[in-house]
């Protein structure tokens, strides 16, 4: 019995060698390119300290940081010192026997802890009373002002107004007339 041997053609061998040669050349090019990029990216290490340009850049950066912090601080102070302008509203001002009651709220702010100040005046005579503001549904209400009739020096037409002040807001109402008996 005779075993047949297959012969590999010369063409296939040549094509295989060419393909191997191309793959080898491509691998070499990639390797050489990556080494060149690494060398370009690396700077030699110097141990002589920062250059004059490095020192100048650092000083400029430090000055810019200080300037930015100063501007931010000024903006913060301006924001904190400028209060929102609000409009207190007098909802009731009347006398019932020997007691005068004035109520109101502050439109445009919703907070606890502000101070409501009532000023009553007539013909150059005036007096003040204060109460606390408190958050009430959607506004800030002033605790009612209950004033004894004796605080009003004489009967007649008096005007009252309410001002409001807190760390966030301030404002004054329009005046309202009240007839004192």
φ, ψ of residue 173 to 5 degrees: the values are -80, 170
Residue 143 has pLDDT above 90, yes or no: yes
- The dihedral through the CA atoms of 108, 113, 117, 118 has a sign that is positive
Residue 36 has a pLDDT of 61
Residue 31 has a pLDDT of 83
16 falls in which pLDDT band (50, 70, 90)? confident
Asked if residues 166 and 116 have their Cβ atoms less than 8 Å apart, the reply is: no
Residue 106 has pLDDT above 70, yes or no: yes
Residue 9 has a pLDDT of 79
| Burial (0-12, 13-18, 19+ Cβ within 10 Å), 135 | middle
- Mean predicted confidence (pLDDT) in 54-61: 85
Confidence (pTM): 0.56
Residues in the chain: 181
For residues 79 and 147, the model is more confident at: 147
Residue 39 has pLDDT above 70, yes or no: no
Q: Alpha carbon of 173 to those of 84, 126, 158, 165: distances in Å?
A: 15, 16, 15, 12
């Amino acid at each position: 019995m005779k075993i047949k041997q297959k012969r590999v053609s010369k063409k296939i061998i040549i094509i295989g060698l060419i393909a191997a040669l191309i793959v080898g050349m491509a691998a070499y090019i990639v390797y050489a390119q990556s080494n060149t990029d690494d060398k370009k990216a690396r700077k030699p290490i110097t141990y002589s300290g920062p250059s004059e340009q490095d020192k100048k850049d650092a000083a400029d950066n430090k000055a810019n940081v200080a300037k930015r912090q100063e501007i931010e601080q000024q903006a913060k102070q301006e924001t904190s010192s400028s209060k929102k302008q609000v409009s207190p509203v007098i909802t009731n001002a009347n006398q019932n026997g020997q007691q005068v009651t004035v109520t109101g709220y502050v439109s445009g702010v919703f907070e606890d802890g502000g101070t409501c100040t009532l000023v009553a005046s007539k013909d150059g005579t005036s007096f003040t009373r204060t109460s606390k503001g408190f958050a009430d549904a959607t506004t800030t209400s002033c605790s009612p002002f209950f004033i004894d009739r004796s605080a009003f020096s004489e009967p007649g037409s008096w005007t009252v107004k309410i001002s409001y002040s807190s760390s966030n807001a301030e404002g004054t109402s329009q005046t309202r007339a009240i007839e004192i008996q």
